[in-house]
Amino acid sequence: MICFLLLLYLVDFSASKYVDPSKDIQPECLHYFNVTKEGVFSTPDYPNAYPPLKKCGWIINHSPNDADININFHDFELEKFPRCYKSDYMTIYRDQGTGKWEQIGSMSGYCGELPNFLISTSARQILVKF
């Protein structure tokens, strides 16, 4: 009985459909940024805290002929739990021009207070969701 339930769960999981990670971002909190050479983006009202349970994001567009997108994170501080998905956390996705987002970086997301870190990818679009 246990094996059957486990097998059913695995089959159901593998048959799951693609879900756009930007769909639950609140429209007033979804921002777009076109990369030319460099720029800065931040959470709303930075350096002040943003309201809890608010889903925000930045979609960063990048010319496919340009170099990689390098995102340097500074002053990173979000609520900390042993598993990020149980608190405020950030996830990063890329789109290689297929129209589907693929998660990159830490698969459990980023949370807590982190030292400066870099994410680099050759994607055409990046979604930073927090």
The answer to whether 109 touches 85, Cβ cutoff 8 Å, is: yes
pLDDT for position 65: 66
Q: Along the 130 residues of the chain, how does pLDDT read in single tens digits? A: 444 444 434 444 444 567 799 999 999 899 998 877 777 888 878 888 777 778 899 998 877 666 688 888 888 887 777 677 667 788 999 988 888 999 988 888 888 888 888 988 888 889 999 8
Both tokens assigned to 22:
């930007």
* pLDDT tens digits along 11-31: 444 445 677 999 999 998 999
Both tokens assigned to 115:
């030292």
CA distances from 4 to 9, 10, 14, 15 (A): 9, 10, 15, 17
Q: CA–CA separation, 79 vs 75, rounded Å? A: 13
Q: CA–CA separation, 87 vs 96, rounded Å? A: 29
Measured in whole angstroms, how far is the alpha carbon of residue 34 from the centre of its chain? 17
Q: CA–CA separation, 90 vs 43, rounded Å? A: 11
Ordered domains of the chain (ranges, CATH): 27-37+55-129 (2.60.120.290)
pLDDT for position 13: 42
* pLDDT tens digits along 108-117: 888 888 888 8
Q: CA–CA separation, 130 vs 127, rounded Å? A: 10
pLDDT for position 84: 72
